[in-house]
Every structure is written in structure tokens, then in C-alpha cells.
């Protein structure tokens, strides 16, 4: 299957930066590495395949092979525009990795799908939308301006981004909440073009996700996913116009792809995913509740990180037993079990200062202070995406927008320098300066002095000319 190379913008059109003997330039390699990231990571393949060839008919596919002992054991062919990946091997033949055949869902099918959705689910999405919108509407920025005594006018204006893409993960589990969380801040900010990227599951998109998209008045929906979807949104295809920024949670492959395209476009100021929770408990905490909170986080992803710190050893032991019992009764038990086995940690610590130290080192996405005296601990916490206070402020409530706060939060220790998704992610700031004749006459000499000191004579002369000194 072939795609015309003109369908993808961003690939080098000129060979000026391509060394002799090389087909692709640096920018090409970056894009291809983004598309192939899952396989490069999984199979420790660090060098791009050099067998890609663009024929005279100007059509191509991108290919990657795994060679062991001089024998090709695994091969991949990707069609980036459609988000299709084919893979094959001697033992199992060829298969389609991604079954999405339609990049743009049919509007009639969307309507039919939404119509079939349970009314209770629709009402729940409506309620979440209203609460999330209300909270984020409080984050609107006011332009700043002033006029000094020399009649110099300065203004700092907040301008919404022109276009963004929200990434909504696709799997057996649907995420209409992620649609709301990523889109509503953009709506409040004033973004005009909002694109939704959602691979769906087995080629079909979830009705709840589609309803949430309609609630947010999203007009562009693309049924693609993974790193190839990130590349398509960043650089554009024949079917998709590029956007200025991509936001939204995803697995480690999606997160890595977003990092690869950063610089050409914007992404959130944090790493969003895989999920994390850190729970602090004491002797008053309910082990059943603690276990359910940890499992709730673990069922997101097998790579999710779940940590429980307790001031009481008995609580830790009881919670561990509860986890074993409760895992038997949830549908995603295999995922949750793997997560807890690989990334679950139980810590005994009764020193409040040391607990705070652990929290600040981890910088968890979600922090639950399931302790009676949480007020004394709060001032010591510097790094966390969101903090749930008390035994009733459970993370699961925040995931579905009940408080109105955003659930797209910094992970992988990025809370040390970033925050959760907000209106500010969709706004840029522009400065406007209008200097008066009196202003430049009064303040210009000091600038000339500084420019001369720094050896920037051109700066000094541009001011001197206006002062009539040259």
C-alpha cells in the first residue's frame, strides 16, 4: 500500500542538508523515528532503516526490519497518513497492526452511535462538562497595560492559539472525560480550531467519546492513534492540516512521540502519562478504601505507578491483603495486577518530614492525603499534580471532573516544574510597545550607555539617529 509523498508535509524537499550517500535529511530522520518509536523502543532498534525508496511515481511506504543473526525475523510497513501499520514474520505471516480503515469517521455513523448511548451516560457527561467549564472559566486572563509619565504605552495581551489537537487514548476502555479535560480549557481560552485524535478500538470509536466531542463542538475527528497520529497532527497530511499544539494523555509511546515533535509544534509543559498515585495513610485509614484507590489507578495502565505510605504497619498489611481480594472482582485485573507487581510500592514511615521528602522526590501526579491531620503536612509539599485532602477526596472523583479541576496532570516527576492542564496552555502572550518622543529622549541615553557597554554599536546608533546625534 502506497501513499504519495506529497501527502506529508515536513519531509525535506531539498537535499542541501543531506550528507553524500544518505537519502534522508535530519528532519526526515526525526519524523521517521517518531513514526517507528514503538518498535524501536520494544526491539532496541536504534538506527533507522535505510531501505526506504521513493519511486519515480512519487509514492512510498516506510519499512523497518528486525535482523537477528543475519536473518530477517520481523518486519513492519507503516502507512503514516492512515495510521496503518502492517507487521509480519516467518512464524505468523503478515497482519494488520492497526485496524482503522477510515481516517475521518462518517457523520451519519457518528449520529447513530451517539443516539445509541445510554441517557444516564449523556447526563453524566453534561454534568461533568458544566462543572469543568465553570472551574476553568475562572482562569481567564486580563490584558495588562499602563502609560508612564513620559506617555510611553505598554500592553501585554493574551492571545489564544489558532489550532490545537487533543489526543484521546483508544482501547476497550473509553475516555470521554479526557475529551472534556483537554478541550474545555481550549474553549475557554478562545481556540477556534480544535481537532480530536482518537484511534478508537478495533476501528470503531466509542459513543461516549463521540458525544463528549459533540458537547465540546469539535468539528474535526480523526480515527488514528499512536506515534503516527502525533506526527500527522504535527506536520500535516493530505487529510489533516497541521496544528499549533498537541495536548492530552497517552501511553509511553505517545508521550515519547510528543517529545520528538516538540519545537516544531507545542505540547503540554509536562509529561502526561503513564498515570501515578501516591497515598498517605495513618492508623485511622480504611484498608479497603486504600486498596480500591490503588487498584483504581493501576487499572489505567500496566505501567501505572502506585505508592502507599503509611504510619501504621498493620494498615499496610491489611491493605496488601485487600488488594489481593479486590483484584479478583475487577474486569481489568490483569492490567492492574501487572501494574501493582511492577510499580507498586508499600512504605512504612511515621516521620512527617520524611514523608514530605518522599512526596517531593516522587512528585506524584495524584496525591491522596488519607490522614486525619493533613493540614500540618500541606505546607511541606512542593511537588504534586493534584492533592486530594481527607478520606472522601478520592482520586476517582477528580478523574471525572466532579470538582471541576483538570485530570491531565504532570507525571514522571515533571510536577517539579510544571502544572496540570489549564487555560494558560492554550494562550500565548504578546507585548505591544508604543514609545513617545519624550520617552525616547529621556530614556534613550541610558540605553545607549548599556548598548555601548555590551559592544552592540548598532543598537546605540539606532537610538542616536532618533535623538539627532548622528
* Residues near 409 by beta carbon (within 8 Å), at least 6 away in sequence: 270, 272, 365, 366, 385, 386, 415, 420, 421
| SS3 state at 381 | coil
Whether 454 sits among the annotated catalytic residues: the reply is no
Burial call 165-204: b when 16+ CB within 10 Å, e when fewer: bbbbbbbeebbbbbbbbbbbbbbbbebebbbbbbbbbeee
**Catalytic residue (one of 276, 365, 368, 425):** 365
Side-chain-side CA neighbours of 428 within 13 Å: the count stands at: 11
Residue entry with cell 470503531: 204
**Catalytic residue (one of 300, 366, 368, 407):** 366
Whether 366 sits among the annotated catalytic residues: the reply is yes
Q: How far, CA to CA in Å, does 2 sit from each of 49, 54, 244, 279, 373?
A: 18, 10, 28, 50, 63
First to last CA, the chain: 67
Positive or negative, the CA dihedral 16, 18, 24, 26 is: negative
Positive or negative, the CA dihedral 280, 286, 290, 291 is: positive
Residues assigned a catalytic role: 365-366
Amino acid at each position: 500500500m502506497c501513499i504519495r509523498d506529497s501527502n506529508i508535509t515536513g519531509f525535506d524537499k531539498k537535499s542541501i542538508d543531506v550528507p553524500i550517500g544518505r537519502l534522508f535529511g535530519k528532519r526526515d530522520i526525526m519524523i521517521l523515528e517518531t513514526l517507528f518509536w514503538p518498535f524501536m523502543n520494544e526491539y532496541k532498534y536504534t538506527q533507522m532503516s535505510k531501505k526506504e525508496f521513493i519511486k519515480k511515481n512519487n509514492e512510498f511506504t516506510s519499512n523497518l526490519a528486525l535482523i537477528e543473526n543475519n536473518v530477517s525475523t520481523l518486519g513492519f510497513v507503516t502507512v503514516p497518513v492512515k495510521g496503518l501499520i502492517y507487521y509480519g514474520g516467518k512464524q505468523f505471516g503478515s497482519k494488520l497492526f492497526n485496524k482503522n480503515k477510515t481516517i475521518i469517521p462518517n457523520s451519519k455513523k457518528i449520529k447513530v452511535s451517539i443516539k445509541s448511548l445510554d441517557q444516564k451516560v449523556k447526563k453524566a457527561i453534561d454534568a461533568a462538562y458544566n462543572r469543568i467549564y465553570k472551574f476553568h472559566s475562572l482562569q481567564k486572563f486580563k490584558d495588562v497595560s499602563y502609560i508612564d509619565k513620559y506617555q510611553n504605552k505598554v500592553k501585554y495581551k493574551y492571545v489564544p492559539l489558532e489550532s490545537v489537537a487533543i489526543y484521546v487514548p483508544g482501547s476497550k476502555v473509553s475516555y470521554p472525560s479526557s475529551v472534556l479535560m483537554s478541550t474545555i480549557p481550549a474553549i475557554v481560552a478562545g481556540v477556534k480550531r480544535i481537532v480530536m485524535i482518537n484511534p478508537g478500538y478495533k476501528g470503531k470509536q466509542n459513543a461516549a467519546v463521540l458525544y463528549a466531542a459533540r458537547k465540546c463542538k469539535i468539528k474535526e475527528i480523526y480515527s488514528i492513534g499512536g506515534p503516527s497520529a502525533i506526527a500527522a497532527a504535527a506536520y500535516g497530511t493530505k487529510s489533516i492540516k497541521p496544528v499549533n499544539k498537541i495536548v492530552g494523555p497517552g501511553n509511553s509511546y505517545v508521550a515519547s512521540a510528543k517529545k520528538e515533535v516538540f519545537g516544531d509544534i507545542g505540547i503540554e509543559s509536562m509529561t502526561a502519562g503513564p498515570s501515578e498515585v501516591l497515598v498517605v495513610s495513618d492508623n485511622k485509614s480504611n484498608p479497603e478504601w486504600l486498596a480500591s484507590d490503588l487498584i483504581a489507578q493501576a487499572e489505567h495502565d500496566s505501567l501505572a505507578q502506585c505508592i502507599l505510605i503509611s504510619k501504621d504497619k498493620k494498615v499496610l498489611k491489611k491493605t496488601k491483603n485487600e488488594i489481593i481480594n479486590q483484584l479478583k472482582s475487577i474486569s481489568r485485573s490483569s492490567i492492574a495486577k501487572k501494574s501493582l507487581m511492577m510499580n507498586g510500592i508499600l512504605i512504612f514511615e511515621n516521620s512527617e518530614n520524611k514523608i514530605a521528602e518522599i512526596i517531593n522526590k516522587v512528585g506524584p501526579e495524584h496525591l491522596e492525603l488519607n490522614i486525619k491531620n493533613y493540614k500540618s503536612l500541606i505546607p511541606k509539599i512542593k511537588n504534586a499534580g493534584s492533592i486530594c485532602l481527607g478520606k472522601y477526596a478520592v482520586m476517582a472523583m477528580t478523574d471525572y471532573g466532579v470538582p471541576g479541576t483538570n485530570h491531565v496532570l504532570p507525571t514522571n516527576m515533571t510536577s517539579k516544574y510544571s502544572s496540570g492542564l489549564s487555560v494558560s496552555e492554550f494562550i500565548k502572550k504578546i507585548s505591544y510597545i508604543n514609545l513617545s518622543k519624550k520617552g525616547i529622549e529621556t530614556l534613550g541615553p541610558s540605553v545607549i550607555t548599556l548598548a555601548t557597554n555590551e559592544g552592540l554599536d548598532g543598537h546605540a546608533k539606532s537610538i542616536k539617529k532618533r535623538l539627532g546625534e548622528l
